[in-house]
Homo-oligomer: A and B are copies of this chain.
Amino acid sequence: MNSREIAKNRLVEFGIKPSLQRLAIMEYLMNHSTHPTADMIFNDLFPSMPTLSKTTVYNTLRLLAGEGAILSLSIDEKNVRYDGDISNHAHFKCKKCGCLYDLPVEGMNSIHVENKGNLLITECHLYYKGFCERCKSEIV
């Protein structure tokens, strides 16, 4: 199964009609673990889809994230980042160079929240910030 088909399956699984644009964006997110912004996605797809508009990218990302087909990350306060990997994992952002990594996390589901009973929890985001290996050594 090629990556286009995998992307299509994800869309269908979440009840989203697989238009050409949506497929391209979904496929892009599943193939790039760079946690791109809407702008990055647009710039990368535009050369091969010259009619694509930024509005469509924004619309599509909002739709996909709203349906749960992708994750929308707010770890970077400037731009929303998107992640095609919807499995449980944490994120790390370097405060110096801005690089953004996935972090595998043990026990992310086992975090105990007191008084959680009253709330219906649907999402959990775990964000770490600090300095990446390269930047860490440059701190004076």
Q: Which residues of A contact B (CB under 8 A)?
A: 72, 74-77, 80, 90, 92, 95, 103-108, 110-116, 118-133, 136, 139
Contacts and interface: CB of A to CB of B under 8 A. Distances in A.
Contact of A74 (B74, B90, B122, B132): B74
A120 B136 CA distance: 7
Contacts of A115: 103-104
A67 B32 CA distance: 34
Contacts of A118: 132-133, 136
A113 B104 contact: yes
Contact of A105 (B80, B112, B131): B112
A121 B113 contact: no
